[in-house]
Amino acid sequence: MSETVRARIIDAALRLLDDGGPEAMSTRAVSAAAGVQAPTLYRLFRDKQGLLDAVTEHRFDEYLADKTDRPRAENPVEDLRRGFDLHVGFGLANPAVYVAVYGGAPRPDGPAPAVLRAEQVLLAMMRRVAAAGRLRVDETTAAHVLHAAGRGTTLLLISTPPDERDLRLPEIAREAVIAAITTAAPAASGGSAAPGEPAAEPLAVAARTIRAALPDVGALSPAEKDLLAEWLDRLTPP
């Protein structure tokens, strides 16, 4: 029964959020729209922030499923492109939810659960790029740079009137970041960089490639993996 009430509250809160933003999602308004008393909200969600987290995570579920359940591209860099486009598309389709998650001041208790989940999905995608020998920088830095570009681009477009938006911006930002964090071809293939593109440092790329594959290596003990990871990190400049 409580799950049915919880779902009804989330649906009511989502409608209010979509129509009027976080300010419209007051405890009184949500209680009235869901047909429950305010104590019920506090019992199920603790406070308004808990309710907002539940609401945004509910909407994020479909977006994250799109990123994780779709077939992987043979080229892992292409998955980064698709993921970036999905991120921008989600924000434009759900502006109130997106701004509630990404547009506010930093939270004292850390990022929202939906943000943490999205970050883990992006980091897993970046790890696959690293394992293919395609990263110029470490996985965490690459994920942060791509996320910053996607987040900034999406917030800029949301804040721009629809008839004034330059929809070329996502592609320009996406390709600029991908060119900065990935190599043109795996270092081991002997491929050369594209004209005007700086060549990646072969040793650093090879070290990152092995580092990304370490979790799946069964021939080494955990202690041996930790030691090898430390050595590989020394070979990759910050």
3-state secondary structure the chain: CHHHHHHHHHHHHHHHHHHHCHHHCCHHHHHHHHCCCHHHHHHHHCCHHHHHHHHHHHHHHHHHHHHHHCCCCCCHHHHHHHHHHHHHHHHHHCHHHHHHHHCCCCCCCCCCHHHHHHHHHHHHHHHHHHHCCCECCCHHHHHHHHHHHHHHHHHHHHHCCHHHCCCCHHHHHHHHHHHHHECCCCHHHCCCCCCCCCCCCHHHHHHHHHHHHHHHCCCCCHHHHHHHHHHHHHCCCC
- CATH topology assigned to domain 54-234: Tetracycline Repressor; domain 2 (1.10.357)
CA 232 to chain CA centroid, Å, is: 26
Q: What rounded mean pLDDT belongs to the chain?
A: 87
Q: Where are the domains of the chain?
A: 1-45, 54-234
Residue 140 has pLDDT above 90, yes or no: yes
Per-residue pLDDT tens over the stretch 105-118: 788 888 888 889 89
Task: Please name the CATH architecture into which domain 1-45 falls.
Answer: Orthogonal Bundle (1.10)
Its pTM surpasses 0.85: no
* Sole residue written with tokens 């943000």: 115
Per-residue pLDDT tens over the stretch 71-82: 888 899 999 999
Residue 19 has pLDDT above 60, yes or no: yes
Give the C-alpha separation, 201 to 211, whole Å: 15
Residue 39 has pLDDT above 60, yes or no: yes
What pLDDT, on the 0 to 100 scale, is given for residue 88? 97
What pLDDT, on the 0 to 100 scale, is given for residue 192? 44
Q: Which band of pLDDT confidence, cut at 50, 70 and 90, is reported for residue 201?
A: low
What pLDDT, on the 0 to 100 scale, is given for residue 208? 77
